[in-house]
Structure formats: C-alpha cells, structure tokens
C-alpha cells in the first residue's frame, strides 16, 4: 500500500487498501514486447516519467504531491502511434494480465488515470491526426489523442467548428472528452460531447478493433458507440471518432443582466429554454461568484446572468430580443454586452489557488445537475450543508449548462485545514457532505467531470439496481478486469 511512514492512513490510503488488487511487477519480457511494438523511445520506465504519470488533475493527487506523500506509480508508460499499435499493446498486456490505463491529457479531475494497482499507462497523444473534414456532411474524423484545441484549429481553417470548448480545451484530448462525457462552455447551443459523437473506433480489452458506423440516425439496436461515452477506459480504448460539426457562426453577441437572487435567475433560464431558442452560453452566478468575477458590473448581493448568442445573424437578434423580454418581465437590470465580453476574454483563466495547497488550503469544484423542479432546492441544500463543514471558508455556485428540463450547478469550495496532516480528511469530509446532500435533494452526482476513482463510491447510490447492467457489460468485455482498475465501478479484478 502507498502510505506515508509513521502516520495513520488517510482516506485515500484506505481507499487504495480497500481496492486490494495484488501488484505484479512488469516482466522484462513484456516490457521488451512493448518496446518492439512502439519502439524503445516510446516506452518510459524511468522514475521521473512514472512520477509525472502517477497523477492527473485531481486535487487529492496535487495535495499529496504538495505534502510530500506518495502516489501509486505505473510500471511503464507507452505511447503508440496508431490504432494497430494500440491493439498490439493491449493484446500483449491483456495476455500478460497487466492492468491497462488509457491516458489522454491527464486533465481529468477525479483520479481517473491513477495507476492504483500498477500496470501500464497507454498515452494516446501520438494519435493526433485529423483524418477527414467533410464540409458537405458536416463531420470530422480524427484520432482520439488529438488535443481539443488542435482539432478546433483545423476545423476553423475549414470555416467550421465543433462547438466543444471545455475550459481544459488546451490540454484535453478528444478521447478523454468522450471517455468522461464532457461538456463545453457553449453546450447550450451545440450540445455536450454525446450530441457530437457520431461513431467510434475502439480497441476492446483483448486487443480486437471495432468500428461503429457514422450516420445521421439509426434504428439498429442499442447504440454501440454510446458504451464508450463516459466509460473512462474501462471498456476499451477509443482510437478514432467521427463527430458532428457546424458552420462557423456568422455573428456572436454577449449580453448580461442583473437579477435579485439565484431563484429569479434560474427561472429566467427555465423560461428561455422553454421557448426552444438556444443561446450558446447561459451562465448564472450566485451572489458570491457574481461579486468575485464581476465586481465592477454587479451590485452587492445580486446575481449576474451572462448570455452569449451566436450563429446566423437573424437568429442571434431574435434570441437577444426574446431573452431581453424574458429578463425584463422578471425585473432584471440590463448590464449590456460588457460583462459578457469580460467573461469571453477570461473564460479559460484558472485561479492560482492550488499553489497554496502546501499551506493547508483545500480547493475543488464539483458539478451536479437536476430537473427544474429540484434545482433550486439542490443549490440551497448543497451549499448550506457544505458551509456547515468545520474549516470551510466558502462554497459558491453557478449554473453553466442548461436544458429544457433542467440545469447544472458548478460548485466551488475553499477550505483551510488547521494543519497539513488534516487537509486530505477535510477534502473528503466536504465531498461526502456535498454528495450526500446532492443525492438527498434528488440531484445527479456528476454533470461533466465523470466518476474516476474519487466518485466511484457514490455510483451504487446514483444508479441503484441499474448499475448491475454496466457491471455485467464490463465483466463480459473485460473478464480479467484489467481495464483501468478501480475507476467508475470502484472495483479491481
Ligand atoms: C482547469 C480544468 C478545466 C476543466 N474544464 C472542463 C470543462 O469545461 N468541461 C469538462 O467537461 N471537463 C473539464 N475539465 C475536466 C477534464 O478536462 C475532462 O474530464 C477531460 O475530458 C479529460 O480529458 P483528458 O484527455 O485530459 O483525459 P484524461 O484525464 O487523460 O483521462 C480521463 C479519463 O478518460 C480515459 N481516457 C482518456 N483517453 C481515452 C481514450 N482514448 N480511450 C478510452 N479512455 C480514455 C482515462 O483512462 C480516464 O479514465 C477540466 C479540467 C481542468 C483541469
């Protein structure tokens, strides 16, 4: 077990111990086979590389690094170049019974790439080609390791866009975005990744390659590609994807309003979504976040609602007019385009707070969702309960992805542990409080970050009996339980 010497095990260490999973060293013969497949220069076994690949962007991994605590390390990292090499790597590892952990950009925030039982990380970033841009059919075919930013640049050169802009745009890969069911900042118009994915090519656990058919729509049984959306590498490795794209928008217009409180803002969004119009961005911030991010635009204690309309000029004008009428009817104050411009400019700027982790600061975000009838109560319950945890400094929220039936809540918390030793437990205490409050208030425990290692323990409460369907599928596809152990289902083997 990975444990700091002479101290009681932390929650993370207990989780690892609970997963069990005997760790077998990587046989030199297997490592040799990997080198033969991808070339020795594309197999890393040195301490520096294994330390870097031991973590993703999960705050607990960052906390442990800041506090000098160990993380489980993979035995090797391989970087295949194409689907054939991925298939050969998977075949060799599966036969040798070595755990296989697919790795994209490592921007996942829930420990989904941690090598909890050792094994080999398969980094897909060399699969980075755009294979086809079809303007007539409005599709793009690309390899799964391409960064979202590079895919979008290629589309932009062709006058197109996928419309998928997660904040991690510069570092996340297409395969990672598919595997975590991600959402981009413009999702209210373009949809989430599941609305964009038309077909996948994937390497199954034993090394077999499958491809699904790209079509406008099909009535041909359950949709096989959907198995890979959110599977987090547990059912295979996505090597290629065909996605829906759109003509680059003709016009973009931001607009913002001030509303009296969060409930009024939620109701405005609900009414706008009912009209059938789809502003690209709708963001409602609670008073704390409004003051933090839009101090010079919004009155103290009020909430800001930011819209971005884009697409065909006439449609943009219509959306802006309908939203203005809806906001006016709700007594909202028109703040003009400036706050929206400010958001567009700063939307990918990340706060430097994690640097203070080595002083006991604990910070993270969590994203949940609910239907309109529950979301107001979900917000109140979660934020109030979280604020009740000893050590918490703030818990605030915004809504950033809306639907006809409901919306998400993106909650940020900041806490200060009395000493470094208790920072990890404080983190877990806040998360437990938040997830329990979410389930109690009828929310869904994850909107777009996925499950990973950290959220797996709430999967039974989230899905109930239905989780058995996924467990059986996993066992059927991966009978040896080697694909990304411990993730999504919280099981090893
Ligand atoms: C600052 C910051 C901002 C973020 N903003 C957003 C946001 O706006 N929206 C959002 O949705 N997320 C966001 N995220 C979370 C993260 O970027 C996403 O979860 C992203 O989808 C992960 O992609 P990745 O390529 O980095 O995957 P990784 O972190 O490398 O992997 C994530 C999971 O996918 C699996 N995986 C990766 N590639 C493949 C593949 N080809 N085949 C099978 N499995 C694979 C891994 O095994 C792992 O389980 C943010 C993260 C950070 C750090």
Phi and psi, residue 413, nearest 5°: -125, 150
Two structure tokens written together for 418: 């009395």
Residues 340 and 358 in one domain: no
pLDDT score recorded for residue 358: 73
Mutate to test the pocket of ligand 1, among 108, 169, 408 (most ligand atoms within 8 A of CB): 108
DSSP letter at 349 equals: P
User: Is the model's pLDDT at 172 over the cut of 80?
Assistant: yes
Q: Is the CB of 451 under 6 A from ligand 1?
A: no
Q: Which atom of ligand 1 is nearest to the CA of 488?
A: 49
Please give the residue range of the domain that contains residue 317. Answer: 251-346
Residues 280 and 241 in one domain: no
CATH number of the domain residue 112 falls in: 3.30.43.10
4 pLDDT band (50/70/90 cuts)? low
**Which is it for the CA torsion 114, 61, 347, 303, positive or negative?**
positive
353 pLDDT band (50/70/90 cuts)? low
Q: Is the CB of 230 under 6 A from ligand 1?
A: no
Residues 239 and 176 in one domain: yes
Report how far ligand 1's centroid is from the alpha carbon of 175 (Å): 8
Report how far ligand 1's centroid is from the alpha carbon of 56 (Å): 9
Q: Is the CB of 167 under 6 A from ligand 1?
A: yes
Dist CA 188 CA 196 (whole Å): 13
Report how far ligand 1's centroid is from the alpha carbon of 229 (Å): 12
Give the DSSP letter string of 138-152: TEEEEETTSBHHHHH
User: Is the model's pLDDT at 356 over the cut of 80?
Assistant: no
pLDDT score recorded for residue 20: 78
Q: Which atom of ligand 1 is nearest to the CA of 236?
A: 43
Q: Is the CB of 234 under 6 A from ligand 1?
A: no
**Residue with CA at minimum distance from ligand 1 atom 23:** 176
CB 314 within 8 A of CB 192: no
Average pLDDT, the chain: 95
> Per residue in 115-134, is it b (16+ CB within 10 Å) or e — as a string?
bbbbbbbbbbbbbbbbeebe
Dist CA 185 CA 347 (whole Å): 9
pLDDT (tens digit per residue) in 418-471: 988 899 999 999 999 999 999 999 999 999 999 999 999 999 999 999 999 999
Q: Which atom of ligand 1 is nearest to the CA of 174?
A: 25
CATH number of the domain residue 436 falls in: 3.30.300.330
Residues 240 and 200 in one domain: yes
pLDDT (tens digit per residue) in 20-53: 766 778 999 999 999 999 999 999 999 999 999 9
Report how far ligand 1's centroid is from the alpha carbon of 395 (Å): 24
Report how far ligand 1's centroid is from the alpha carbon of 318 (Å): 35
Q: Is the CB of 486 under 6 A from ligand 1?
A: no
Report how far ligand 1's centroid is from the alpha carbon of 492 (Å): 21
Mean per-residue pLDDT, 410-419: 95
Dist CA 185 CA 164 (whole Å): 7
Residues 140 and 241 in one domain: yes
Q: Which of 215, 232, 247 is the C-terminal boundary of a domain?
A: 247
pLDDT (tens digit per residue) in 227-282: 999 999 999 999 999 999 999 999 999 999 999 999 999 999 999 999 999 999 99
CATH number of the domain residue 315 falls in: 3.30.70.3450
Mean per-residue pLDDT, 95-120: 97
Mean per-residue pLDDT, 276-293: 97
Report if residue 396 sits inside a domain: yes
- Total tally of structural domains belonging to the chain: 4
Dist CA 397 CA 367 (whole Å): 9
Q: Is the CB of 205 under 6 A from ligand 1?
A: no
> Per residue in 405-429, is it b (16+ CB within 10 Å) or e — as a string?
ebbbbbbbbbbebeebeebbbbbbb
Report if residue 320 sits inside a domain: yes
Report if residue 479 sits inside a domain: no
Q: Which atom of ligand 1 is nearest to the CA of 178?
A: 21
Dist CA 459 CA 435 (whole Å): 11
Residue matched to tokens 């999702």: 187
Q: Which atom of ligand 1 is nearest to the CA of 145?
A: 41
Q: Is the CB of 57 under 6 A from ligand 1?
A: yes
Residues 413 and 428 in one domain: yes
350 pLDDT band (50/70/90 cuts)? confident
Dist CA 292 CA 307 (whole Å): 18
Residues 332 and 398 in one domain: no
Q: Which atom of ligand 1 is nearest to the CA of 103?
A: 30
**Residue with CA at minimum distance from ligand 1 atom 16:** 108
Contacts of 367 (CB under 8 A, 6+ apart): 408, 409, 410, 411, 446, 447, 448, 449
Residue 21 Ramachandran class (φ > 0 left, ψ -120 to 50 alpha, else beta): left
Q: Is the CB of 90 under 6 A from ligand 1?
A: no
Q: Is the CB of 349 under 6 A from ligand 1?
A: no
CB 203 within 8 A of CB 122: no
DSSP letter at 466 equals: G
pLDDT score recorded for residue 459: 97
Q: Which of 328, 346, 364 is the C-terminal boundary of a domain?
A: 346
Mutate to test the pocket of ligand 1, among 58, 120, 179 (most ligand atoms within 8 A of CB): 179
């Amino acid at each position: 077990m990975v444990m700091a010497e002479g101290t009681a095990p932390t929650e993370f260490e207990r989780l690892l111990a609970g997963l069990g999973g005997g760790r077998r060293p990587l046989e030199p013969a297997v490592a040799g086979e990997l080198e033969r497949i991808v070339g020795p220069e594309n197999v890393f076994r040195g301490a520096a590389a294994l330390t870097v690949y031991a973590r993703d962007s999960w705050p607990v991994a960052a906390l442990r690094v800041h506090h000098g605590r160990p993380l489980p390390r993979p035995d090797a990292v391989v970087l295949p170049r194409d689907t054939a090499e991925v298939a050969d790597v998977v075949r060799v590892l599966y036969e040798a019974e070595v755990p296989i952990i697919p790795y994209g950009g490592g921007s996942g925030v829930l420990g989904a790439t941690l090598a909890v039982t050792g094994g080999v990380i398969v980094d897909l970033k060399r699969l980075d080609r755009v294979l086809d841009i079809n303007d007539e059919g409005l599709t793009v075919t690309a390899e799964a390791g391409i960064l979202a930013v590079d895919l979008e640049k290629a589309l932009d050169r062709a006058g197109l866009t996928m419309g998928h802009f997660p904040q991690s745009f510069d570092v996340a890969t297409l395969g990672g975005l598919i595997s975590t069911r991600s959402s981009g900042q413009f999702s209210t118009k373009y949809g989430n990744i599941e609305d964009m994915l038309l077909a996948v090519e994937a390497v199954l656990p034993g090394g077999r390659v499958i491809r699904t058919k790209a079509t406008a729509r099909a009535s041909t049984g359950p949709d096989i590609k959907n198995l890979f959306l959110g599977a987090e590498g547990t059912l295979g490795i996505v090597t290629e994807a065909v996605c829906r794209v759109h003509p680059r928008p003709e016009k973009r217009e931001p607009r913002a309003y001030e509303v009296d409180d969060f409930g009024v803002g939620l109701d405005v969004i609900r009414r706008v979504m009912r009209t059938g119009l789809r502003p690209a961005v709708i963001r409602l911030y609670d008073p704390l976040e409004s003051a933090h991010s839009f101090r010079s635009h919004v009155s103290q204690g009020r909430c800001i609602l930011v819209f971005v309309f884009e697409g065909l000029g006439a449609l943009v004008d219509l959306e802006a007019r309908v939203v203005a009428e809806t906001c006016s009817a709700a007594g909202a104050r028109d703040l003009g385009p400036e706050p929206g411009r400010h958001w567009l400019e700063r939307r990918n700027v990340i706060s430097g707070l994690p640097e203070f982790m080595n002083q006991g600061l604990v910070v993270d975000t969590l994203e949940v969702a609910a239907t309109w009838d529950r979301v107001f109560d979900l917000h109140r319950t979660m934020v109030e309960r979280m604020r009740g945890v000893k050590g918490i400094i703030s818990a605030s929220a915004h809504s950033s992805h809306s639907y006809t039936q409901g919306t998400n809540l993106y909650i940020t918390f900041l806490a200060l542990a009395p000493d470094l030793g208790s920072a990890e437990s404080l983190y877990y205490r806040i998360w437990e409080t938040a997830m329990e409050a979410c389930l109690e208030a009828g929310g869904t425990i994850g909107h777009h970050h996925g499950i990973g290692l950290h959220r797996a323990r709430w999967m039974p409460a989230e899905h109930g009996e239905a989780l058995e369907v996924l467990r059986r599928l996993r066992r059927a596809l991966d009978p040896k339980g080697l694909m990304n152990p411990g993730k999504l289902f919280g099981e090893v083997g």
